[in-house]
Amino acid sequence: MRGTRDRTIAILMLAPSVVLLGIFVYVFILSTAYTSLTNLDSMRQLGGIAPDFVGLKNYLDFFGFSPLDTRFRIGFVNTIFFTILFIAVCLGLGLLLAVLLDQKIKGEAIFRTIFLFPMALSFVVTGVVWRWLFNVNAGLNRLPTLIGLPQGTFEWHTSQQRILEFSWQDFPTIIAVIIGLFVILPAFYYVVQRRSRTAIYVLIVAMLINGYLLFVATPSLWTANARPETHGFNLAIIAVVVAAAWQMSGYTMAMYLAGLRGVAEELREAARVDGCSELNVYRRIVLPLLAPITLSAMIILGHISLKIFDLIYAMGGGDLLQIDVPGMFMYLETYRGFQPARGAAVAMIMLILVAAVIVPYLYTNLKGEAKK
Amino acid sequence: MKHLKRIGLLLALVLALGATVVLAQDAPSGELEIFSWWSGGGEAAGLEALIARFGELYPDVSVINAAVAGGSGVNARAVLTTRMLGGDPPDTFQVHAGEELNAVWVAAGLMQPLNAIYEANGWLEQYPQGLLDLITDEEGNIYVVPVNIHRSNVMWYNPARLEEWGISVPTTWDEFFAACEVTMAAGVPAISIGENWTQVHLWESIALGVLGTEAYNGLWNGTTSWTSPEVVATFETLGRVYDCANEDLNSLSWQDAAQRVVNGEAAFNIMGDWAAGYYLVDLALEPGTGFGWAASPGTDGTFMMLSDTFGLPVGAPNAGAVEAWLSFVGTAEAQDLFNPIKGSLPANTTADIGNAELYNAYFQDAYSDWTSNEIVGSLAHGLVAAPAFSNAFAGLIAGFQANGDAAGAAANAALLAIQTGLGS
């Protein structure tokens, strides 16, 4: 009897927030998803013309079937490089700072505060400050002159240099190669060596995807757009990574520090007694225990970098294509181009990217909890 | 009884409505929200001067200056569209004459005709017919009041520096590239270029210079093919101009780019003549010595125009005050107040343009061009193409800057023209 009453009260208490969340998050996500499948246009809307359903046209246009949407693809490629570099730098720096602070040094609290402080700023402030610091003739580039070296010549966020160039029509091939290296080969190994059934399914799905990418997507991309469209790693992204990592590596440090404090001192002592060197204590004992922290940090950093907008806007003012991101394109298409449907399609692509990072994480977490 | 009550209520309502209308015509009062993108420099000062004088004439109206920053209105239009869609229009808003007005607001039936104001003030004779054509629909309804005329195809330079480098003002793009070699050898970019919209602005000046007046107009009415070799040549020229430009081109505002010229950090800058207002008011330079100007290469004898206007949207909260505002800004008095500060020409031909104290050497020169040259419309400033085209074209220019494929850019522009129904 008691249990049902508790349950009723719990449901009643939760209901308002569930309903509000349901409407203001999930219903709106669905409405955005629907909008992205139409040709909603503010101008037509003003004239009272209802939007038509156009299916996946907006998505196909972005991913190569309209030669006019180069800007989306520039942003998409930039986001990939930015996310990889940003996560790598933040994790590396954060771990380094955390390990250094963990050495029981004097004034640890002060250093911790200093390293954590940039996180308190908004990305807009960070963007403006770093835009000044990256000024080609007045900022960081002048530092070497203080010790008599020639002035730096890298143009930071305004640099037009691009490396690792590829044409967009080769993008499916590149994805296929990556899938081949990181999914098909390991799956093949598991099938042959361990005779795993899951690996067979994975192998089949991956081969199907690759077949589609190589034999369907690539030729149709070339038909839609016969001119090779060059993309690559814009070196200007490095400047954004520096600014973003400056802000977020302190946060990563705090996460790692909490993790380090959670590693029982007895474990380290035991390792030392067994004759383990201090370096190996970290390598063999501490780092493996920090793996869950690394995963959490990657999720948090990853969803920041995939959604980033404010930092880019503050640094580049919206038109600096070398550091363009999908968030910027979404804003411009919706408000400057008066095409909310295309903006909604970008929003859905960003949601899918973030979900691809977060959902597996939530899934493993929830599974872990259920086991307990 | 019930019926009587209803009739009484109706009568009272009609009376009240009539009273407000009469009131509105007698002495406008209440709040008047003026929406624009004039938020800085000479533009904001000019608007402030207008508002101050308006306040003297109509002390009962309190003006709300709702300016949204961003060159050429790039951000203001976003805010405006959101408000119009949400049924919350400002009382009056700034809009470029031409397609930006016609293809959007007039086509959607969101503007009220202003013919009564024009007739009451005798403006039909005072405004140039070519300008009126741009703001009139097929039924002869006029929708906005122009406050100024700007020229888009102007090249700015620093006379003392040109002498120092030993180059003269180029009248063709070939001469420009010759000058480019000289200045680049001296370690100075031949041209300063700013953010994306200033590059669209640059392209339209190049297109006018390379194509000539007739073929340039043909782009907008469908008689010039976007994939013709001449149009491809406009993009090729733009590509070569990029090679003569500052490296940080995408990160400068138009003011930054204009300032590089007077600082001697670049030889030339192509920008509309609001740059004159910036040089005169913000940098306090003398025309002719502090800064010089010429038609952009190959466009001498042609005046590429744009015009800022104000109108009365359907559902404006305080229509009476808007009518007072529009009746004021169209007068020669208001235009003589506003334009010398903003750095533009008066649209009303009865303005006191001959007064050298108000309009200095630059304006005198520009006005004689305005009245004698062939007139064409600007793309970057909304005159010749609907926002659907011009917005995507800005993206196309950005893409061209990244890959340098002139033929591809022309092909994409042709595709875009078909998609957006340009010239049809």
Q: Sort A247 into a burial class: Cβ within 10 Å, 0-12 / 13-18 / 19+.
A: buried
Q: Residue B240 is inside which H or E element, if any?
A: helix B229-243
Q: Which residue of B has its CA nearest to A156?
A: B248
pLDDT in tens, B148-160: 999 999 999 999 9
CA dist., res. A230 & res. A166, Å (int): 6
Beta-carbon-side half-sphere exposure of residue B27 (alpha carbons within 13 Å)? 7
pLDDT in tens, B33-51: 999 988 877 788 899 999 9
CA dist., res. B280 & res. B287, Å (int): 7
Give the closest-approach CA distance of B302 to chain A in angstroms: 30
A317 touching B (Cβ < 8 Å):
yes
Token duo for residue B422: 């340009």
**Among A241-245, A308-312, B39-43, B340-344, which stretch is predicted with the lowest mean pLDDT?**
B39-43
Q: Point out the residue among B104, B392, B399 whose CB comes nearest to the CB of A337.
A: B392
pLDDT in tens, B164-175: 999 999 999 999
Q: Sort B155 into a burial class: Cβ within 10 Å, 0-12 / 13-18 / 19+.
A: buried
- pLDDT value of position A277: 85
- Are A314 and A11 in contact by the 8 Å Cβ rule? The answer is no
Q: Which amino acid is at A230?
A: T
Contact B388 A41 (CB under 8 A): yes
**Among A80-84, A245-249, B26-30, B111-115, which stretch is predicted with the lowest mean pLDDT?**
B26-30
Q: B68, B250, B252, B254: best mutation site toward chain A, by most A Cβ within 10 Å?
A: B250
Per-residue pLDDT band at B417 (split at 50, 70, 90): very high
CA dist., res. A171 & res. A225, Å (int): 13
A128 touching B (Cβ < 8 Å):
no
- Are A232 and A165 in contact by the 8 Å Cβ rule? The answer is yes
- Are B409 and B235 in contact by the 8 Å Cβ rule? The answer is yes
Average pLDDT over residues A66-77: 88
- pLDDT of A300 above 70: yes
Contact A230 B415 (CB under 8 A): no
Token duo for residue A14: 């939760």
- pLDDT of B8 above 60: no
pLDDT in tens, B275-317: 988 888 888 898 889 999 999 999 999 999 999 999 999 989 9
- pLDDT value of position B361: 86
B349 touching A (Cβ < 8 Å):
no
Contact A337 B391 (CB under 8 A): yes
- pLDDT value of position A337: 80
Whole-structure pTM value: 0.81
Contact B103 A43 (CB under 8 A): yes
pLDDT in tens, A320-348: 888 899 999 999 888 878 889 999 999 99
Contact A47 B107 (CB under 8 A): yes
- pLDDT value of position B21: 45
The candidate with the shortest Cα–Cα distance to A127, out of A261, A313, A306, A285, is A313
Strand partners of residue B111: B313
Give the closest-approach CA distance of A122 to chain B in angstroms: 21
DSSP letters spanning B310-322: EE-BTT-TTHHHH
Mean of the per-residue pLDDT values of chain B: 88
Strand partners of residue B353: none
Which of A45-54, B88-97, B390-399 has the largest mean confidence? Answer: B88-97
Give the closest-approach CA distance of A135 to chain B in angstroms: 9
Q: Which residue of A has its CA nearest to B401?
A: A321
Helix axes B196-221, B387-403, angle to 10 degrees: 120
Contact A74 B403 (CB under 8 A): no
The candidate with the shortest Cα–Cα distance to B343, out of B116, B83, B52, B149, is B149
Per-residue pLDDT band at B7 (split at 50, 70, 90): low
Q: Point out the residue among A42, A322, A336 whose CB comes nearest to the CB of B74.
A: A336
Q: ∠ CA(A218), CA(B414), CA(A320), 5° rounding? A: 70
- pLDDT value of position A44: 78
Order across the sheet with B92-96: list the strands.
Answer: B61-67, B30-36, B92-96, B308-311, B144-146
Q: Sort A154 into a burial class: Cβ within 10 Å, 0-12 / 13-18 / 19+.
A: middle
Q: Which residues contact A74 (CB under 8 A, 6 or more apart)?
A: A231, A321, A324, B399, B402
pLDDT in tens, B256-277: 899 999 999 999 999 998 898 8
pLDDT in tens, B51-60: 999 999 999 9
